[in-house]
């Protein structure tokens, strides 16, 4: 009986022992980061055109959101992106990728991708496919979606590759389908007319808001009617007459 009691006590002691929680010991990682509604995931394409900037530029910086997976650090760390298969832009001619230092204690940050307004961009759309490069501080991070919570109201996504189309031509912005009911089908000639009439280059909802979404099409229809009265129909690059809904 005494032996059985001792066994039971030993079993209880082991069963009541606190579970040991191991801390993260792996190498910290980096991944691209976006909210799902932004459609900037592995299959999404981000676009940039020097033609759509408020002032003429020979170089510009496109900031790329990135996220750290792993432990935060009380020391600065280095991050680098690399161009991978699918890239037809030329490093040093059309873009530059440099190792950058991020501050201590951050979990998300923006990487500065340098874009160069090269001669070829006047007649070409170049693609850059980016992937986080391994450094002394980071390897590839984790990928996938994080559902919205009460703390974070938007669904987030971490992904491995980011595709960027860059040119100095008037190209269709990624957000255009969201506004096609307000501005109609995209064309380069239409976009140039909009920029000349309204004096802005970014027509995303974040920039123009509900006021612009409602009022800009009215202003454009009036300006187009005035143009047609003086010059006849305005045709796009495909020979189609331009109109606004």
Per-residue pLDDT of the chain (245 residues; tens, 9 = 90+): 555 445 454 445 444 444 443 444 557 888 888 766 655 555 567 888 998 887 889 999 999 888 888 788 888 889 899 999 999 999 999 999 999 998 888 888 899 999 999 999 999 999 999 999 988 887 877 766 665 555 555 777 777 888 999 999 888 887 888 888 899 999 989 998 998 899 888 888 888 999 999 999 999 999 999 999 999 999 998 899 999 98
- Do 148 and 199 lie in one domain? The reply is no
Tell me if 244 is assigned to some domain: no
- Do 58 and 141 lie in one domain? The reply is yes
Q: Are 84 and 131 in contact (CB under 8 A)?
A: yes
- Do 163 and 208 lie in one domain? The reply is no
Tell me if 9 is assigned to some domain: no
- Do 51 and 158 lie in one domain? The reply is yes
Q: Are 179 and 203 in contact (CB under 8 A)?
A: yes
Closest to 67 in 3D by CA, of 162, 181, 195: 162
d(CA 65, CA 8): 56
- Do 190 and 221 lie in one domain? The reply is yes
Indicate which CATH number applies to the domain containing 71: 2.60.40.2030
* Residue range of the domain that includes 198: 176-231
- Do 89 and 149 lie in one domain? The reply is yes
* Tally of CA atoms within 13 A in the half-sphere of 206 that contains its CB: 4
d(CA 229, CA 95): 44
Final residue before a domain boundary, out of 167, 188, 208: 167
Residues contacting 45, CB < 8 A, separation 6+: 163, 164, 165, 174
Tell me if 12 is assigned to some domain: no
* Tally of CA atoms within 13 A in the half-sphere of 56 that contains its CB: 1
Q: Are 95 and 144 in contact (CB under 8 A)?
A: no
Instruction: Please tell me whether the overall predicted TM-score, pTM, comes out greater than 0.75 for this model.
Output: no
Alpha helices, H only, 43-186:
176-183
- Do 90 and 210 lie in one domain? The reply is no
Structural domains in the chain (count): 2
Tell me if 242 is assigned to some domain: no
- Do 194 and 96 lie in one domain? The reply is no
Q: How far is CA 24 from CA 21, 103, 105, 108, in A?
A: 10, 21, 16, 19
Final residue before a domain boundary, out of 142, 167, 192: 167
- Do 95 and 204 lie in one domain? The reply is no
Tell me if 238 is assigned to some domain: no
């Amino acid at each position: 009986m005494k032996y059985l009691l001792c066994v039971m006590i030993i079993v209880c002691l082991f069963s009541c022992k606190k579970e040991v929680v191991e801390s993260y010991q792996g190498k910290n990682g980096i991944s691209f980061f976006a909210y799902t509604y932004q459609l900037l995931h592995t299959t999404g394409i981000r676009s940039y055109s020097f033609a759509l900037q408020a002032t003429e530029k020979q170089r510009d910086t496109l900031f790329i959101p990135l996220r750290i997976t792993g432990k935060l650090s009380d020391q600065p760390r280095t991050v680098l992106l690399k161009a991978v298969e699918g890239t037809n832009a030329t490093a040093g001619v059309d873009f530059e990728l440099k190792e950058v230092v991020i501050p201590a204690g951050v979990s998300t940050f923006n990487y500065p991708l340098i874009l160069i307004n090269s001669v070829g961009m006047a007649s070409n759309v170049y693609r850059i496919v980016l992937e986080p490069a391994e450094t002394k501080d980071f390897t590839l991070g984790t990928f996938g979606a994080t559902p919205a919570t009460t703390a974070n109201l938007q669904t987030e996504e971490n992904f491995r590759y980011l595709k960027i189309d860059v040119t100095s031509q008037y190209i269709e912005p990624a957000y255009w389908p969201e506004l096609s009911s307000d501005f109609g089908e995209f064309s380069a000639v239409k976009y140039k007319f909009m920029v000349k009439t309204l004096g802005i280059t970014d027509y995303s909802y974040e920039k123009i808001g509900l006021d612009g979404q409602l009022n800009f099409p009215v202003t454009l229809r009036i300006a187009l009617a005035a143009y047609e009265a003086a010059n006849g129909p305005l045709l796009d690059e495909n020979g189609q007459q331009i109109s606004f809904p």
